[in-house]
Amino acid sequence: MASLVPPPSSSSTSSLSRFSSSSSRSHPSSTSFPVYRKPVTSSAPPLIASPTFAIAARTSETLLDVASLKEKVSLETDPLQLWKRYLDWLYQHKDLGLSVDVSRIGFSEEFVEEMEVKFKYAFAAMEKLEGGAIANPDESRMVGHYWLRKPELAPNVFLRKQIEEALARVSRFADDVVSGKIKPPPCPAERFTQVLSVGIGGSALGPQFVAEALAPDNPLLKIRFIDNTDPAGIDHQIAQLGPEMSSTLVVVISKSGGTPETRNGLLEVQRAFREKGLDFAKQGVAITQENSLLDNTARIEGWLARFPMFDWVGGRTSEMSAVGLLPAALQGINIKEMLAGAAIMDEATRNPSVRQNPAALLALCWYWASDGRGSKDMVVLPYKDSLLLFSRYLQQLVMESLGKEYDLDGNLVNQGLAVYGNKGSTDQHAYIQQLREGVHNFFTTFIEVLRDRPLGHDWELEPGVTCGDYLFGMLQGTRSALYANKRESITVTIEEVTPRSVGAMIALYERAVGLYASLININPYHQPGVEAGKKAAAEVLALQKRVLAVLNKASCQDPVEALTLDEMAERCHATNQVEMIYKIVAHMASNDRIIITEGLCGSPKSIKVYSGECNVENLYINLS
Ligand SMILES: O=P(O)(O)OC[C@H]1O[C@](O)(CO)[C@@H](O)[C@@H]1O
């Protein structure tokens, strides 16, 4: 990989063992919990002068008073006027076979006019972002996911070459694996048959969505995902590999290269490989930033391959980087078509006229429907099984991007837009009752797919009506029924679920999120809030280690001393943490790692605990 980052510092090398499992100890994770903090500054200065431009959206500092604009209008009900509104506002992209219908969102002309200035600044900010400005000021980073599908747009030749080279390497490697040129070492007569992807958040959701949407029925390589630190979930995925573990390619994805859940997933998989006598390195692939813990681990252990994740691509916008492209290509999905669809959509969403820009139309509707402050949730309803995971994918893209405490000027704003949904018509038999009649705290986005099944395969299950006609009817019926009860909706229509249309939809929403963020004056490219939970988790595990040390000491007494929660808290110097100590004890006792002698089913206050074994080596851990 070409280097954008300096060589690892001694501290990052020393913590390498936290990611590595090369140690043969049975508890490789017994070292300290690796809380990774994303660098506050870019690891290398940008290669062109990149002025910070977040300021560009200045005039959007104040939110528009949408509520008072809403008071002046009511939703159109006259069918002919609605048809006119539909035609007036319909956006269609002929090449992509995609349209966006915003007629069932009730914004007024006055609102559109008022938003014009905000959009002007949003487009200007977007242009600067694409030109290589520091669009993520808090992390001093450029934001370059748009360059991935059109490398010639990258702000300099070096970045352009990096993108092109990475894409070429991904394609070549995937071709070689699929064709059997690169074979699983334990069974050289065979091919790789499975991909096990280990990653979380932006390093999982895109690949999961694309696999569900586009993988052929019988892919040459079937993909599975480990995207959590749930041991039972991991066991389940590993068990399902069965004898095919020896022909499984394990792709570990982490931009930072230090996310605990991913690290744990890797350690668990490596252990399973060891138990089967397999050499993990020969089947392991890393996708990460150069010189991250994961990258260094993969390099030192000699994994089969490593692919780069760029500093200037955020996790939730990384589907068109190696993160999404490698898993897709390994399943036989046409990644060039995905990139082409995204590039065409990128072009369309650069149009500075709101009416002719599908992403701007979405952002306009979001602002109107949720008063520019997330007052209503966005329910995403794709009427197509293969798009089931689209709402989950959008949940991260939208909520991690827009859910921010402060705006770009440091004002407390608590912004966001909540996203949920599964698929239609299934959800009509679950929660649409509430959408139609219950609390009015949402607007809907229907995703409509015109082609029901491959041409030539359809049949009429009753005269004149196919199975797909029912799905179509359910969507149209629900859209009308919701609107009749003043519940607004957007409809995005595509002809077919193809690599091209999926690429286009991803690009559409990436741009909509970027534009909307400018309208509400927040930075959508960082995620400071997530760090708080990670830090708190690390503190819990640190407390657990102290609890264990205290219990060990008490268990080395003769006779063994069983401790109450208060005694433990005192000895841990954590008297304000009794509740957390109780939870730690309950969790460990449920897993047979400590023993509760008294009060098992009684009040937490009455329980007494001991560790069950005395480890003399651990007796002198300093607890102060
Ligand atoms: O790719 P990484 O660095 O493992 O991060 C995974 C996910 O964790 C987050 O940083 C949030 O914790 C996401 O933004 C990201 O997609």
On whether the CB atoms of residues 554 and 562 are closer than 8 A, the answer is yes
Q: In Å, what is the CA distance from 328 to each residue of 184, 212, 623? A: 19, 10, 49
CA-CA distance, 508 to 586, in Å (whole number)?
Answer: 47
CA of 337 to the centre of ligand 1 (A): 26
Local structure of 167: helix, strand or coil: helix
> What number does the ligand 1 atom closest to the CA of 530 have?
12
Nearest atom, ligand 1, residue 261 CA: 4
Residue whose CA lies nearest to ligand 1 atom number 4: 254
Our answer to whether residue 534 is catalytic in this structure is: yes
Residue 470 C-alpha to ligand 1 middle, in angstroms? 40
Decide if 520 contacts 473 (C-beta within 8 A): no
Tell me what pLDDT residue 61 has: 55
- Residue 452 Cα to ligand 1 middle (Å): 35
Amino acid 601: pLDDT: 64
Which of 27, 94, 429, 457 is catalytic? The answer is 429
Pocket test for ligand 1, best of 36, 197, 200, 262 (most atoms within 8 A of CB): 200
Q: By C-alpha distance, which of 488, 452, 446, 483 is closest to 468?
A: 452
pLDDT score at 624? 62
Nearest CA to ligand 1 atom 9: 201
ipTM (interface pTM):
0.99
- In the reported structure, the alpha carbon of residue 527 is separated from the centroid of ligand 1 by a whole-number distance in angstroms of 9
Q: Is the pLDDT of residue 553 over 90?
A: yes
Q: Enter the DSSP assignment of 26.
A: S
The CA-atom distances, in angstroms, between 596 and each of 508, 610, 621 are: 55, 7, 23
Cross-strand bridge partners of residue 197: 225, 251
Q: How far apart are CA 129 and CA 409, in angstroms?
A: 18
Active site residue 400: yes
Among residues of the chain, what percentage have pLDDT more than 90? Answer: 83
CB-facing half-sphere around the CA of 540: CA atoms within 13 A: 14
Q: Which CA distances in Å does 67 have to 64, 73, 119, 353, 378? A: 9, 10, 19, 25, 18
Residue 213's pLDDT is what?
98
The Cα 368–Cα 66 span in angstroms is 6
The full 3-state SS of 292-314, as one line of letters, equals: CHHHHHHHHHCCCEEEECCCCCC
pLDDT tops 60 at residue 86 = yes
Q: What does the pLDDT look like over 415-437, one tens digit per residue?
A: 999 999 999 999 999 999 999 99
- Tell whether the model's pLDDT for residue 142 goes beyond 60: yes
Whole-model pTM: value is 0.90
Query: What is the pLDDT averaged over residues 561-589?
Result: 95
Mean pLDDT over residues 164-185, rounded? 97
| CA-proximal residue: ligand 1, atom 11 (nearest) | 530
Q: How far is the CA of 202 from the centre of ligand 1 (A)?
A: 6
- Residue 349, number of CB atoms within 10 A of its CB: 27
Is residue 354 within 8 A of residue 109, CB to CB? The reply is no
pLDDT of residue 531: 85
Encode pLDDT of 218-273 as tens digits.
998 999 999 999 999 999 999 999 999 999 999 999 999 999 999 999 999 999 99
Whether 134 and 144 have beta carbons less than 8 Å apart is answered as no
What pLDDT digit, counting tens, does each position of 511-546 carry?
A: 999 999 999 999 999 999 998 888 999 999 999 999
Residue 177 in 3-state DSSP? helix
DSSP class of residue 399 equals: H
Q: What is the pLDDT of residue 169?
A: 98
Query: Of the listed 534, 545, 583, 608, which one is catalytic?
Result: 534
CB atoms within 10 A of CB 370: 24
From the alpha carbon of 534, which atom of ligand 1 is closest? 12
* pLDDT cut 70: percent of the chain above it: 89
* Nearest atom of ligand 1 to the alpha carbon of 531: 12
Q: Who contacts 11 (Cβ-Cβ below 8 Å, separation ≥6)?
A: none
Calpha distance 299→555 (Å, rounded): 43
Residue 164 annotated among the catalytic residues of the structure: no
For 159, 315, 432, the CA distances from 429, given in Å and listed in that order, are 49, 34, 7
d(CA 530, ligand 1 centre) in Å: 9
**Which neighbouring-strand residues pair with 252?**
198, 286
Question: φ, ψ for residue 521 (rounded to 5)?
Answer: 65, 45
Determine the distance separating the centroid of ligand 1 and the alpha carbon of 503, expressed in angstroms.
Answer: 21
**Residue 137 — φ and ψ, nearest 5°?**
-65, -35
Alpha-carbon torsion (268, 273, 277, 280), positive or negative = negative
pLDDT value at residue 11: 36
150 alpha carbon, distance to own chain's centre: 23
Give the number of the atom of ligand 1 that is nearest the alpha carbon of residue 400. Answer: 14
Query: Active site residue: 268, 319, 400, 510, which one?
Result: 400
Atom of ligand 1 nearest to the CA of 205: 16
Q: What residue owns the CA closest to ligand 1's atom 12?
A: 530
**Which residue out of 35, 136, 259, 290 has the highest number of ligand 1 atoms within 8 Å of its CB and is therefore the one to mutate?**
259
For residue 34, give Cα distances in angstroms to 20, 237, 259, 518, 537. 12, 24, 8, 34, 11
pLDDT at 62: 79
Pocket of ligand 1 (CB under 6 A): 200-203, 254-256, 259, 262, 315-316, 400, 527, 530
The SS3 of residue 377 is strand
If you measure from the C-alpha of residue 316 to the centroid of ligand 1, how many angstroms do you get, rounded to a whole number? 8
Q: Is the dihedral of CA 591, 592, 598, 601 positive or negative?
A: positive
**504 band by pLDDT with thresholds 50, 70 and 90:** very high
Instruction: Flag whether pLDDT at 38 surpasses 50.
Output: no
Ligand 1: residue whose CA is nearest its atom 2: 254
Distance CA(226)–CA(289), nearest Å, equals 20
Helix, strand, coil share of the chain (percent; to 5): 50, 10, 40
Report, in angstroms and rounded to the nearest whole number, the Rg of the chain calculated over CA atoms.
27
**DSSP calls for 34-54:** ------SS-SS--SS---B-G
Q: Average pLDDT in the 191-205 region? A: 97
What's the count of helices (H) and strands (E) in the chain, helices before strands?
20, 16
- Chain mean pLDDT for the chain: 90
